[in-house]
Amino acid sequence: MTQERLDKLSAFILEQLSSMIVMGELKDPRIGSFLTVSHVKLARDFSLARVFISGFSDDVDVDKAVAALNNAAGYIRSVFAKKLKTRVVPKFVFQKDMSIEEGLEITKKIEELFKNKDSNT
């Protein structure tokens, strides 16, 4: 599958999953509308979709939501089997997106370096 096709399918999956979460189509109470689908990585053979989730709540809530999404992965796959016009429907694996926390940590370290540099001069 070409990279352009993978990118289009990733964007479609991201959009549809985000909609399912916001509209409350997934009935698990651990999955709230505070979640964000950060990005989707598809395997080249379209057998696996790794979905990264972030949220505006505690880490514990996001971890619980990711666990709930992994429990609902079979249902989500069946929904996408009807929406996708592909021969293969990917298996969904949900992971917590750590990029926001890592970015904040790096920013904090850079600020500390500048403070130390200013205090030394």
Strand partners, 61: none
Q: Are 23 and 60 in contact (CB under 8 A)?
A: no
The dihedral formed by the CA atoms of 41, 98, 73 and 86, expressed in degrees to the nearest 10: -10
Query: What is the pLDDT, as a whole number, of residue 66?
Result: 92
Query: What is the pLDDT, as a whole number, of residue 39?
Result: 92
55: pLDDT strictly greater than 90 = no
Q: Are 24 and 33 in contact (CB under 8 A)?
A: yes
Structural domain 3-120, CATH architecture: 2-Layer Sandwich (3.30)
More confident residue, 104 or 88: 88
Query: What is the pLDDT, as a whole number, of residue 50?
Result: 96
60: pLDDT strictly greater than 80 = no
Confidence of residue 57 (pLDDT cuts 50, 70, 90): low
